[in-house]
């Protein structure tokens, strides 16, 4: 069970300065064998909050797809979120940490 395997992660949720990078590596592992990433992503967001999630394409390290395909993967994986929460995970959190990026 994914939830049980992530117990060490859940135990760090109270560390307010800990942010999580979500990337194609994570999504690919969660969706292997036809599974869905939504359930696990909901658990992570419930534990940490969307304001501590950062989507990263992992490009150019992940080079089996184009940058646009990697970006689309993130957007589609977070489609269950409200538009404002999705925008937070896709860039808002990063901008809050590194405002010069804006």
pLDDT of the residue at 62: 86
Q: Of 4, 57, 3, 51, which Cα lies nearest the Cα of 26? A: 57
- Write out pLDDT tens, residues 14-48: 999 999 999 999 999 889 878 889 988 999 999 99
Longest CA span, the chain: 40
Q: Per residue in 52-102, pLDDT tens?
A: 999 999 988 888 999 999 999 999 999 999 999 999 999 999 999 999 988
- What mean pLDDT is reported for the chain? 92
* pLDDT the model gives residue 102: 87
Q: What is the pLDDT of residues 43-57, one digit of tens each?
A: 999 999 999 999 999
pTM for the model: 0.86
Q: pLDDT band for position 3 (50/70/90)?
A: low
CA nearest to 49, candidates 80, 24, 18: 18
């Amino acid at each position: 069970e994914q939830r049980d395997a992530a117990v060490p992660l859940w135990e760090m949720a109270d560390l307010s300065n800990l942010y999580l990078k979500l990337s194609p590596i994570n999504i690919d592992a969660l969706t292997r064998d036809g599974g869905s990433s939504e359930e696990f992503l909901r658990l992570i967001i419930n534990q940490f909050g969307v304001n501590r999630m950062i989507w990263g394409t992992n490009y150019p390290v992940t080079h089996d797809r184009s940058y646009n395909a990697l970006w689309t993967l993130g957007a589609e994986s977070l489609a269950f979120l409200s538009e404002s929460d999705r925008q937070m995970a896709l860039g808002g959190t990063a901008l809050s940490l590194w405002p010069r990026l804006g």
